[in-house]
Chain A
């Protein structure tokens, strides 16, 4: 997946409102974005809906991609923002339900997987905060550099490093990684 090809496709999509060029970008990166959101949201259906919203937002904001970093880094920033917005909205919705006297457990219900589908990764991710989870996934699943993660999350590189360190420590404290490693 060449970044220069990505830049060419972005240029084509921006200059001529070329939906075919953007379609190619979606085809190239949908797997990364959907995997990122699936790990973040913990719910495949919700994650895929968010991925669609993410690409719609990306289309609207494509002209803001400067080409300085990688396109996937920029795309994951859009995905992360989309996820946070949706989380805020569902929180507000839960608050409205609660104030109306309903039991507001919509969010927790949507993120809980059936026990037989819970993987080791899900258990690891469960001990992390949303921010830690996003950064760990960007780093270990998507292979983004600390600088790219900093750009995606609007954080200094030093903060990114300390969040990763903290995340690893939490995982270490909650699970015996060495035992896991040796089966």
Chain B
């Protein structure tokens, strides 16, 4: 009710209001390809966004490959320093584990972390 009264009050215009309305009135602007340009820009931006993450992942992966393989090699070197008894005791419960290389486990963990992070980024 109150909003209706407010709207009615707004609609009551004096001569000055009508004059201002007539002055402010302007012909509608022809589209002339404006909307097409906007949509084209948006599509381009969508493509750029879609391509950014995979491209960054590929470039990042390529850059990180060498240092990562160095880390994996260093970790496997560290593992060899561990007393063999400790490792064999830990894995003796599951004999299949002994056959799995430590490097594979580390690499798998890194890939899993990167994968989860990428999925999270894509969701965002």
Q: Show the binding face of A for B, using Cβ within 8 Å.
A: 17, 19-20, 22-23, 26-27, 30-31, 34-35, 38-39, 48, 51-52, 55-56, 59, 120-121, 124, 136-137, 140-141, 145-147, 157, 168, 171-172, 177, 180-181
Q: Across chains A and B, which 7 residue pairs bring their CB atoms closest together, nearest first?
A: A140-B24, A141-B24, A26-B35, A31-B28, A23-B39, A27-B35, A31-B29
Alpha-carbon distance between A124 and B21 when the two chains are bound, in angstroms:
13
Nearest A residue to B28, CB-CB = A31
Given that A30-B31, A177-B16 are known contacts, is A23 also in contact with B38, CB under 8 Å in the complex? yes
Alpha-carbon distance between A51 and B16 when the two chains are bound, in angstroms:
30
Whether the pair A121, B24 counts as a contact (CB closer than 8 A) is yes
Q: Show 12 residue pairs from A and B whose CB-CB distance is below 8 angstroms, ordered by the A residue.
A: A19-B43, A19-B46, A22-B39, A26-B34, A27-B35, A30-B38, A39-B26, A52-B34, A121-B26, A145-B7, A145-B10, A146-B6
Alpha-carbon distance between A180 and B29 when the two chains are bound, in angstroms:
26
Which chain B residues lie closer than 8 Å to A157 at the CB level?
6
Whether the pair B24, A27 counts as a contact (CB closer than 8 A) is no
- Closest Cβ of chain B to A24, distance in Å, is 8
Whether the pair B35, A30 counts as a contact (CB closer than 8 A) is yes
B113 at the interface (CB under 8 A from A): no
Near A by CB (< 8 A), chain B positions 42-89 give: 42-43, 45-46
Which chain A residues lie closer than 8 Å to B16 at the CB level?
168, 172, 177
Which chain B residues lie closer than 8 Å to A52 at the CB level?
34, 37-38, 41
Alpha-carbon distance between A98 and B90 when the two chains are bound, in angstroms:
72
Which chain A residues lie closer than 8 Å to B45 at the CB level?
56
B123 at the interface (CB under 8 A from A): no
Which chain A residues lie closer than 8 Å to B24 at the CB level?
39, 121, 136-137, 140-141
Whether the pair B38, A56 counts as a contact (CB closer than 8 A) is yes
- Closest Cβ of chain A to B106, distance in Å, is 39
B19 at the interface (CB under 8 A from A): yes
Alpha-carbon distance between A52 and B45 when the two chains are bound, in angstroms:
13
Nearest B residue to A20, CB-CB = B39
Nearest B residue to A141, CB-CB = B24
